[in-house]
Amino acid sequence: MTDLSESERAGTAATVDARGRVAELLAIREEALRGPSEKATEAQHAKGKLTARERIDLLLDEGSFREVGELRRHRATGFGLETKRPYTDGVVTGWGTVDGRRVFVYAHDFRIFGGALGEAHAAKIHKIMDMAIAAGAPLISLNDGAGARIQEGVTALAGYGGIFQRNTRASGMIPQISVMLGPCAGGAAYSPALTDFVFMVRDTAQMFITGPDVVQAVTGAEVSHNELGGADVHAGTSGVAHFAYDDEESCIEEVRYLLSLLPSNNRENPPSVATEDPADRRCESLVDLVPADANRPYDMRAVIEEIVDEGEFLEVHERWAMNIICALARLDGQVVGIIANQPQAMAGVLDISASEKAARFVQMCDAFNIPLVTLLDVPGFLPGVDQEHGGIIRHGAKLLYAYCNATVPRISVILRKAYGGAYIVMDSQTIGADLTFAWPTNEIAVMGAEGAANVIFRRQINAAEDPEAMRARLVKEYRTELMHPYYAAERGLVDDVIEPAETRQVLISSLAMLRTKHADLPVRKHGNPPQ
């Protein structure tokens, strides 16, 4: 056997050592991917919850995930932490694609420290948020964590500050989507509240600032976790959650669908798709869907379904403030945001909740270059002591401000009644709508004919031998003089009166014309919107 030279022996030793290091790396990666233990995984599944990596696999295109910080571990000591230093530190971060488009994601791993946030955990989230902002790509958080890691004290709390600051910096620049898949308590709940959309899963996800134990200690009221901050509470009562689903699979699938309707950032337009739904399709059924009688209710969703491509739309905040509809849909393949009064709920009036819901939706659409289509059938603002004392003036002003500040293409269609200040607020021509159309059934006025006649002709009615007959005659006279379908068009407040069946083709051709619209806002640091 020939003896090896010194240099050859050194090279052989290096080769063996390198292979050993690679084997060591693969073992460490396997440990990080496997998680803390099979028992912990079984416990997660027993609660009806998926693991962080299973959730990421559902969200992203197969094989597209690239992890960042997989080998990160905390450096805290005390309270036994020095003996528990799992890889990832309880959060999986990275990027991948959804339908071929890049997104960034972080997912809490409840199996590790209950998904609680510590210094290293927060640093990983900060990095992936910074990367998403720099790359101009959506950020999705899959939340399943127990709040700040108590053992790390104020260092853990400081981590939330960094997240909130980045949420705010990213606002209006990239879409931010929070998916609530487990508990989210205390200050941790403010990060989802700062994002554009919040999804929740029933039974397993909760959000609250103070938990049931604190509520009982302070107020004496007994309440369960779900009763206090479950998906149905936040989707239907508080308005914190935009969407609620029964299971994680359907929830994450809807996140993917929402992403298909949003641009990657504020410098791009939403993705367009080819459609087989003809742009010139007439909507003959609209004539029968909307009753001419202004007091008869109908479902505005049926109108939207008839107008948009393939009858498909995604309603935002479907179960909160149901007297107004906010939805994302497509017209001739192009994404639009639709705001519509819902006569089936509270006659479609505007109240505090409806104003807030619509204002936030208008702002989101404007931030991400989504044209606005407003369908009006509004009798006014909801009267009442509770509404006035609750601040309907400032809350209604939020919607007014949002519309006035929006620079995307804006088209409004008045289907039936449009009364008072609510007509002005719902993107009337006088606050900047690019085009305003009306159906022949429209009634645009300060108030309904009955109310107007009672105010204007009170003395004549009271002095008449037959007050009811006099009232009926004067109501008819007022309606004929000031509320006929062409009154606003004659004065230039409506650009055209159209057949209901033409609505789809008129909207599509108008939006095509407005696609190159450019509007500059005043030079300023920012406005001071109503609060």
Per DSSP, 280 falls in state: T
Catalytic residue among 162, 172, 187, 236: 187
What are the domain boundaries of the chain?
Answer: 18-260, 285-442+485-514, 447-484
- Closest-CA residue to 506 (of 299, 286, 339): 286
CATH class of 285-442+485-514: alpha beta
Looking at the predicted structure, is the pLDDT value of residue 315 above 90? yes
Q: Locate the DSSP E strands across 441-480.
A: 443-445
Rounded CA gap, 465 and 453, in Å? 17
According to the model, what pLDDT value does residue 16 have? 59
Report the range out of 23-32, 44-53, 119-128, 316-325 with the highest average pLDDT: 316-325
Mean pLDDT for the stretch of residues 53-78: 90
Which of 205, 359, 397, 422 does the annotation list as catalytic?
422
Query: What's the distance, CA 210 to chain centroid?
Result: 24
Q: Which residues of 204-229 are buried (b: 16+ CB within 10 A; e: fewer)?
A: bbbbbeebbeebeeeeeeeeebbebb
> Which pLDDT value is given to residue 482?
67
**How far is 432 from 128, CA to CA, in rounded Å?**
39
94 counts as catalytic: no
**174: nearest Cα among 141, 201, 207:** 141
Burial class (CB in 10 A: 0-12, 13-18, 19+), 24: exposed
Burial class (CB in 10 A: 0-12, 13-18, 19+), 154: exposed
Q: What percent of the chain has pLDDT above 90?
A: 64
Active-site position among 186, 236, 391, 432: 186
Report the alpha-carbon distance of residue 164 to residue 195 in Å, rounded. Answer: 10
Cβ neighbours, 10 Å, residue 272:
11
276: pLDDT strictly greater than 60: yes
Query: For residue 517, what are the contacts with CB-CB under 8 A and spacing of at least 6?
Result: 407, 408, 409, 434
Among residues 421, 432, 451, 512, the one annotated as catalytic is: 421
Q: Which amino acid is at 336?
A: V
CA-angle at 304, arms to 382 and 348, nearest 5°: 10
Report which residue type is found at 481: E
So what's the pLDDT on residue 15?
54
- pLDDT grade for 8, boundaries at 50, 70 and 90: low
How far is it, in rounded angstroms, from Cα 340 to Cα 328?
Answer: 12
What is the CATH topology of the domain spanning 18-260?
2-enoyl-CoA Hydratase; Chain A, domain 1 (3.90.226)
pLDDT of residue 152: 78
Question: What pLDDT sits at residue 379?
Answer: 92
| Average pLDDT value for the chain | 90
Catalytic site residue 519?
A: no
Whether residue 186 lies in the annotated active site? yes
Q: Is the pLDDT of residue 247 over 60?
A: yes
For residue 367, give the amino acid letter. A
149, 186 contact by CB (below 8 A):
no
Mean pLDDT (whole number) for 274-287? 96
The pLDDT score that the predictor gives to residue 1 is 43
Would you say how long the chain is, in residues?
A: 531
pTM: 0.91
Whether the predicted pLDDT of 77 surpasses 90: no
- E strands, 29-86, are 66-68
